[in-house]
Amino acid sequence: MVKVLSAVVLPVLMTLGALSVAWSAEPAADEDEGGPTELGTFVFQFENDTFTGTDQHYTNGIRLSWTSPDEPRNAVVGAARKALRTVARDEDKQDRRNLTRYGAAFGQDMYTPEDKDRTDLIVEDRPYAGWLYGAFSMHTITERGKGRKDLESVELQLGVVGPWALAEESQDLIHEIRLLDKFKGWRNQLENEPGLLLLYERKWRLFERIDLGWVQFDAIPHAGVSLGNVLTHANVGGAARLGWDLPDDFGPPSLIQGVMPMDTLREKAISFYLFGSMEGRLVAHNIFLDGNTFRDSHSVDKNHWVGDVALGASVHIGRLQISYSNAVRSREFEGQPHDSRFGSITIACQI
């Protein structure tokens, strides 16, 4: 019991600690000037294959996150911003406006094989696995003029894989509430293992929004890498949007397993758009397919090339954003009978 509680409490404390550091670093200028003090942007993301009528493979993801208000000013943020430029090999010395935010998050992902009734080890299907984590992130926007700007994001996730991730307990609870049959093979899940995942991603706005009568169009490419015993990969992709009064941000919310999106919500504007996104990944390591790093465990032969395609819609009403998408993920391991499908809902509120 102590070990299980530690698995839950430590990521929570880490996230709360990051929040407290971020809070203490905020200047009190707004209060001194008599204006309101912003708390930042709070985001709830939920992904589940129930939206597409399945219950297998990547079956559930949930994440609660926060990003700081605009332009926090402190030495830590300044040093981190310089580090981002170094990582991106950005040697441009021109005077540009930069905006940096930082954030914290807490989340859980779960994975299951296709057959929920078998209690034995299903060697030909992916392992049962859960990932419980806390995260700290840094996001920097650089304005480059003429509608061009880019967003660099770095996120560090620390957590645990295995029974301590409480994926079995979470899934059982939801299935009980919804009167669904439980998966019976969780005793075969990956063993407990601490996890570390460092993600870097860069998005580009290469041109201003294009007016097409009463609607507008834009496109935002991105590229990134991740490193850690949980996941090591490189990715490239992009999103295209078509809608009314498109926000001047970096596109629709990313899927949970990408870097957390950073959107500038607007005070009074109302907008609606449809979007499509694509991403390809070259996967060097995936613990949820390769198995435990430091001990023998169930594993399957992964596919090194994996792709996602998503279609969705998003509505912005002032400081509130609600987005939904359906995603298709290509086969992740040899012998996987079909692609994975899941839905994703994101609710963001700027306070």
Q: What is the predicted pLDDT for the residue at 337?
A: 92
Residue 35, domain member (yes or no): no
- In this structure, is the dihedral angle defined by the CA atoms of residues 116, 122, 124 and 128, taken in order, positive or negative? positive
276 occurs within a structural domain: yes
pLDDT at 55: 84
Please tell me the predicted confidence (pLDDT) of residue 117. 95
In degrees and rounded to multiples of 5, residue 21 shows phi and psi of: -65, -45
Summarize pLDDT for 163-193 with one digit per residue, the tens: 999 999 999 998 998 888 899 999 999 999 9
Confidence of residue 14 (pLDDT cuts 50, 70, 90): very low
**Residue 271 resides in a domain:** yes
Residue 279 located in a structural domain: yes
- Rounded to whole angstroms, what are the CA distances from 173 to 105, 169, 260, 348? 22, 6, 27, 26
Within-domain flag for 302: yes
Q: Output the CA–CA distances (angstroms, integers) from residue 244 to 46, 209, 284, 315, in the order listed.
A: 25, 11, 40, 10
Tell me the pairing of strands 148-161 and 320-329.
Answer: unpaired
Q: Give the angle subtended at the CA of 279 by the CAs of 277 and 283, to the nearest 5°.
A: 160
Nearest to 57 by CA among 292, 333, 272, 318: 333
Q: Would the pLDDT of 325 be above 70? A: yes
pLDDT at 75: 62
Domain that holds residue 333: 2-24+45-350
pLDDT of residue 32: 40
Share of the chain above pLDDT 70, in %: 77
Domain count, the chain: 1
Residue type, position 163, single letter: P
Q: What pLDDT score was predicted for residue 259?
A: 56
Q: pLDDT tens digit string along 230-265?
A: 999 999 999 999 999 998 888 887 776 655 555 566
123 found inside a domain: yes
Could you read off the pLDDT of 212-222 as tens digits, one per residue? Answer: 999 999 999 99
Exposure class string for 82-111: b at 16+ Cβ within 10 A, else e: eebeeeeeeeeeeeeeebbbbbbbbbbbbb
Pairing of strands 98-112, 270-286: unpaired
Per-residue model confidence (pLDDT) at position 267: 64
On average, the pLDDT of the chain sits at 84
User: Residue 151 falls within a domain, yes or no?
Assistant: yes
Q: What is the CATH number of the domain that holds 78?
A: 2.40.128.140
pLDDT at position 37:
52
The confidence band for 30, taking pLDDT boundaries of 50, 70 and 90, is very low
pLDDT tens per residue across span 107-155: 999 999 999 999 999 999 999 999 999 999 988 889 888 778 999 999 9
DSSP 182: P
Better-predicted residue by pLDDT, 10 or 83: 83
In a domain, 37, yes or no: no
pLDDT-wise least confident of 15-24, 48-57, 224-233 = 15-24
User: 288 versus 35: which is more confidently predicted?
Assistant: 288
